[in-house]
Amino acid sequence: MTRKLQAFGIGATLLGLVVGTISVASAGSDITSAQTLHLAGKITQHAALDLGTPGFSQGDEFLISGPLFNQGGTQQVGHFGGYIVVAKTGPKATGEGLVTFRLSGGQITFQGLQPFVPPPALGPPFQSAVNGGTGVFQNARGQATVTETGPGTFAVTVRLIP
């Protein structure tokens, strides 16, 4: 796969995506009231799979993973992993992403469309749905707003509702 495609994939796969101050310890066995998590993430492992037509094309996949931090980025609070599949190419290219956050007390899954913006530009903020979770997040739903903060880094605000 070309370097251009790999670089494009890294900059575009920030669904994952995340981080702030988490007070999971005070949560019960599930979500009983609305919670907001502010997180930050850094993609430390990534792979671009050039499937089908050579070059950036529909069906290509981008796999990502890395640590999650508190909002200030000073303390690691978890990990994330996921993938994005190219759904549409062209000037308004998009990908369908599925990402999971592993935090103290459980996991949260996210899914949604996200824009692909070639580096070095940063993509616009985007939202993903909270599909559910495990442990203290077992009945979670809501949405996450992801903002790219630099190459391979992002901030996310997760709004959870029971």
Instruction: Give the least confident one: 17-26, 44-53, 129-138, 146-155.
Output: 17-26
Amino acid at 67: P
User: Do 87 and 113 touch, CB atoms closer than 8 A?
Assistant: yes
Task: Report residue 29's pLDDT band, with 50, 70 and 90 as the boundaries.
Answer: low
- The three-class DSSP label of residue 119 is coil
pLDDT higher than 80, residue 7: no
Phi first, then psi, for residue 93 (nearest 5°) are: -60, 140
- Please check the confidence at residue 26 and state whether its pLDDT lies above 80: no
Mean pLDDT on 1-26: 40
- Phi and psi of 9, rounded to 5°? -65, -40
87-134 pLDDT, tens digit per residue, is 999 999 999 999 999 999 999 999 999 998 877 788 899 999 999 999
Give Cα 117 distance to the centre of its chain. Answer: 15
Q: Where are the domains of the chain?
A: 3-161
**Which phi and psi (to 5°) does residue 136 adopt?**
-65, -10
CATH of domain 3-161: 2.40.480.10
pLDDT exceeds cutoff 80 at 17: no
Residue type, 21: T
Instruction: Name residue 153's beta-bridge partners.
Output: 42, 150
Contacts of 85 (CB under 8 A, 6+ apart): 59, 60, 61, 95, 96, 97
Per-chain mean pLDDT for the chain: 84
Q: Number of helices (H) and strands (E) in the chain: give both, helices first.
A: 1, 9
Q: Which pLDDT score is estimated for 130?
A: 97
Helices (H), ranges, 47-94 = none
DSSP characters over 81-108: EEEEEEEE-STT-EEEEEEEEEETTEEE
